[in-house]
């Protein structure tokens, strides 16, 4: 059956992972997962697991596998408003979880509301199970990756056995599954540790890379809890991989009003920035910095400010505008560098990229 399958899947962003699978099973319960694993075992088939399908390395697919699709596994199971623990099925995606928390607590004062500590940046429609499987991180200045926000999870192993995993129970599996990309079983549910919901002020300035480490240290000392830095990608400019937008967020009094309307980039704005990032990088940086500087001082909820605009298949329109002869894509590379070495690393990268005509469209 599998060798004749015509079912082909791909990831949403890079779209470089066309993979033929034997079948797709849309599970809706723990029992569905159990039954699917047992059936695959009986038929000597391997299993792959996908949620939001954003992983660009193809980790969620396998040729001729039974693909477990978790998108319908999206319920909130329990929410303890005293302890801030919430158990959700692994297929629930971040927007639905955040919407649930906001709606459920809308009558409660801010001082009694809970919300997520962090989520991955750049895209929202990732499953909680997927974020745990890659041990995603957000922009928390003192936060560790996502596993630090996980109290426990329920794993279904290759034998169909349900295992409760935490720092005290099956602790070795607990450490392996966070960042294990589905190798150790199917995550059925995740219990997250929430944090008190806050209001935060965005503070923005333009700085250079040699000031960044001290800048972050000062922001942390001053009580800021989130932050990031996006640098120029214009290889013709002295700002290239050197000067950028330094945005950080500090808590403000919970009585501070959240304005009904604030400056934000629309989908059309983002589409134009995507285009300019390829066609006119100097103008991209000008528009991007102008917008962010104009939003300094705006107030956000600590969860909502982490949400992003992401357009599926945005590259089709981009290819058309750029008169591309073939379908193109962007690849994200994440490199870990000791903080003191970052200026020297980027100086070397600057020379290498220019010499080898690397087309860099975004950097953070």
Q: Are residues 192 and 316 in the same domain?
A: no
Instruction: Give yes or no for a contact between 318 and 274, defined as CB atoms under 8 angstroms apart.
Output: yes
Q: Are residues 173 and 280 in the same domain?
A: no
Whole-angstrom Cα distance, residue 311 to residue 331?
Answer: 16
Q: Where are the alpha helices (DSSP H) in the chain?
A: 30-42, 94-104, 128-133, 171-177, 212-221, 267-279, 281-294, 314-321, 342-355
Whole-angstrom Cα distance, residue 48 to residue 63?
Answer: 9
Ranges assigned E (strand) in 18-84: 19-21, 23-26, 47-50, 66-69, 76-80
DSSP character string of 205-266:
EEEEGGGHHHHHHHHHHTT--EEEEEEB--TTSTTBTTEEEEEEEEEE-TTS---SS-----
298 falls within a domain: yes
The residue to which tokens 């607590």 are assigned: 105
Strand, coil or helix: what is 300? strand
361 falls within a domain: no
Structural domain containing residue 278: 199-355
Residue segments in the chain with a per-residue pLDDT below the cut of 70: 1-3
Which is nearest to 253 in space by CA: 148, 111, 58, 92? Answer: 111
329 falls within a domain: yes
Question: Cα–Cα–Cα angle for 185, 191, 192, nearest 5°?
Answer: 120
Work out how many domains the chain is built from and give that number.
Answer: 3
80 falls within a domain: yes
Within 10 angstroms of residue 295's Cβ, the number of other Cβ atoms is 16
Q: Are residues 57 and 88 in the same domain?
A: no
- Strand bridging mode 186-193 / 150-156: antiparallel
Strand, coil or helix: what is 92? coil
Q: Are residues 57 and 20 in the same domain?
A: yes
Query: Full-prediction pTM beyond 0.85?
Result: yes
Structural domain ending residue among the three candidates 10, 39, 69: 69
Could you tell me the CATH number of the domain that includes residue 31? 3.30.43.10
Instruction: Give yes or no for a contact between 164 and 154, defined as CB atoms under 8 angstroms apart.
Output: yes
* Predicted pLDDT of residue 3: 53
Whole-angstrom Cα distance, residue 342 to residue 64?
Answer: 43
Q: Are residues 215 and 350 in the same domain?
A: yes
Give CA 325 to chain center in angstroms. 31
Q: Are residues 221 and 166 in the same domain?
A: no
Structural domain ending residue among the three candidates 20, 51, 69: 69
Could you tell me the CATH number of the domain that includes residue 124? 3.30.465.10
308 falls within a domain: yes
Which is nearest to 247 in space by CA: 232, 233, 230, 262? Answer: 230
Output the six-digit token pair for 161: 């056995």
Q: Are residues 56 and 95 in the same domain?
A: no
Whole-angstrom Cα distance, residue 21 to residue 47?
Answer: 10
Whole-angstrom Cα distance, residue 29 to residue 77?
Answer: 12
Q: Are residues 106 and 15 in the same domain?
A: no
Q: What is the DSSP letter of 351?
A: H
Q: Are residues 126 and 48 in the same domain?
A: no
Output the six-digit token pair for 252: 């403000």
Which is nearest to 155 in space by CA: 183, 118, 135? Answer: 183
Structural domain ending residue among the three candidates 196, 211, 240: 196
| Torsions phi, psi for 320 (to 5 deg) | -65, -45
* Predicted pLDDT of residue 56: 83
360 falls within a domain: no
Residue 267, burial from CB neighbour count under 10 angstroms (0-12, 13-18, 19+): exposed
242 falls within a domain: yes
Q: Are residues 204 and 351 in the same domain?
A: yes
236 falls within a domain: yes
Q: Are residues 174 and 204 in the same domain?
A: no
SS3 of the chain: helix, strand, coil, percent, to 5? 30, 25, 45
Q: Are residues 267 and 338 in the same domain?
A: yes
Whole-angstrom Cα distance, residue 189 to residue 75?
Answer: 9
């Amino acid at each position: 059956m599998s060798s004749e399958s015509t079912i082909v899947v791909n990831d949403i962003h890079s779209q470089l992972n066309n993979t033929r699978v034997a079948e797709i099973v849309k599970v809706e319960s723990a029992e569905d997962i159990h039954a699917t694993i047992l059936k695959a075992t009986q038929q000597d088939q391997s299993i792959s697991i996908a949620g939001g399908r954003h992983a660009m390395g193809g980790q969620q697919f396998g040729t001729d596998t039974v693909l477990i699709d978790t998108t319908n596994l999206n319920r909130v199971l329990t929410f303890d408003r005293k302890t801030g623990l919430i158990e959700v099925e692994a297929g629930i995606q971040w927007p639905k979880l955040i919407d649930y928390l906001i709606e459920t607590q809308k009558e409660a004062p801010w001082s009694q509301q809970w919300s997520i500590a962090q989520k991955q940046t750049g895209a929202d429609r990732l499953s909680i199970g997927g974020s745990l499987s890659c041990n995603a991180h957000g922009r928390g200045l003192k936060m560790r990756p996502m596993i630090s926000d996980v109290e426990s999870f329920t794993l279904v192993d290759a034998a169909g056995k349900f295992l409760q995993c935490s720092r005290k129970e099956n602790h070795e599996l607990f450490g392996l599954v966070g960042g294990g990309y589905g190798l150790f079983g199917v995550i059925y549910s995740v219990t997250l540790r929430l944090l008190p919901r806050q209001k935060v002020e965005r503070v923005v300035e333009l700085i250079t890379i040699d000031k960044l480490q001290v800048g972050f240290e000062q922001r942390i000392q001053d009580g800021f809890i989130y932050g990031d830095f996006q640098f120029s990608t214009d290889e013709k400019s002295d700002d290239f991989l050197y000067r950028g937008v330094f945005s950080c967020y500090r808590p403000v009094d919970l009585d501070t009003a959240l304005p009904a309307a604030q400056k934000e980039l629309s989908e059309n704005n983002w589409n134009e920035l995507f285009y300019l990032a390829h066609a006119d990088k100097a103008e991209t940086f000008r528009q991007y910095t102008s917008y962010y500087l104009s939003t300094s001082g705006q107030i956000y909820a600590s969860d909502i400010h982490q949400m992003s605009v992401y357009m599926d298949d945005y590259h089709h329109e981009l290819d058309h505008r750029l008169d591309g002869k073939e379908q193109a894509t962007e690849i994200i590379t994440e490199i870990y560098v000791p903080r003191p070495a970052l200026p020297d690393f980027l100086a070397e990268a600057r020379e290498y990229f220019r010499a080898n005509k690397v087309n860099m469209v975004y950097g953070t």
